[in-house]
Amino acid sequence: MADDCFVTVRPPLDAGERKTFVVLGAPRGGTSMIAGSLRLAGIFMGEGLGGQHEDPAFKREAVEDKLAAIADRNRRFHTWGWKLPRTVHFFDEIKHALVNPHLIVVYRNTLAVARSSARRDRRPLDLHLIKVATRHYSKVFDIIDGNDMPTAIVAYEAAVAQPRLYAERLVKYCGVEPTGEMLEEISAFVGGKPGYTEIPGEVLPRRA
């Protein structure tokens, strides 16, 4: 299925199957939007999350620590995921431990990514920042090309402009039974104020 904001490159497994959602994209490129949306859809994305929706367990440097976190999530949850832009640097080392990995890639205009990075770091926008974003996306697409996994690509700008359509497509890809309230919450989260947004409370994920 393809439209302006959501492209299914490789179809997902059936709704009842176990899945692990891996959110990929550039820093400042919209990965927090995807992760927050997944949380609102009832998918466990980690513990101790802030507005960036990043699981601290995957920020640990040792691969063994990441594998231990994966084993813990596999044991506790039927479907779960995580978001961390630097996953591109260690994905090949941990992918064997994932149960039915499904990639969700968010693509944002590289100039917009560079501008956001410059604003965050209070530095001038320059060619180097654009190159950094471009190289990161190159690593993301290497993962897509090198692995025959279910894959969806979200166009960031189009998703923000069409939050309801984005919500419907994302939930369908994930195999989650949508409710009107869920779709409204995701739409409001995506179409709200720019920047990082925390989600109050915790959703109830589906357990193994």
Q: What is the average per-residue pLDDT within 143-154?
A: 98
5-46 per-position pLDDT tens digit? 999 999 999 999 999 999 999 988 999 999 999 999 999 999
Task: Compute the chain's Rg from CA coordinates.
Answer: 16
Q: Between the CA of residue 98 and those of 66, 79, 143, what are the distances in Å?
A: 11, 11, 15
Mean pLDDT of the chain: 90
Edge-first strand listing for the sheet containing 79-83: 6-10, 151-155, 101-107, 19-24, 79-83
Helix (H, G, I), strand (E, B) or coil at 61: coil
pLDDT at 204: 42
Name the band, by pLDDT with cuts 50, 70 and 90, for residue 203.
very low
What pLDDT, on a 0 to 100 scale, did the predictor assign at position 78? 97
Give DSSP secondary structure letters for 134-150: HHHHHHHHHHHHH----
Task: List, for residues 46-99, the tens digit of each pLDDT value.
Answer: 998 877 899 999 999 899 999 999 999 999 999 999 999 999 999 999 999 999
For position 208, what pLDDT does the model report?
34
pLDDT single digits (tens) 96-123: 999 999 999 999 998 998 888 778 778 8
79 or 208, greater pLDDT: 79
DSSP bridge pairs for 77: 207
Domain boundaries, the chain: 6-191
What pLDDT score was predicted for residue 52? 81
Whether the CB-CB separation of 147 and 129 falls below 8 Å is answered with: no
6-191: CATH topology: Rossmann fold (3.40.50)
The confidence band for 192, taking pLDDT boundaries of 50, 70 and 90, is: low
The residue with greater pLDDT, 199 or 187, is 187
pLDDT at 206: 39
Overall average pLDDT of the 160-180 stretch: 96
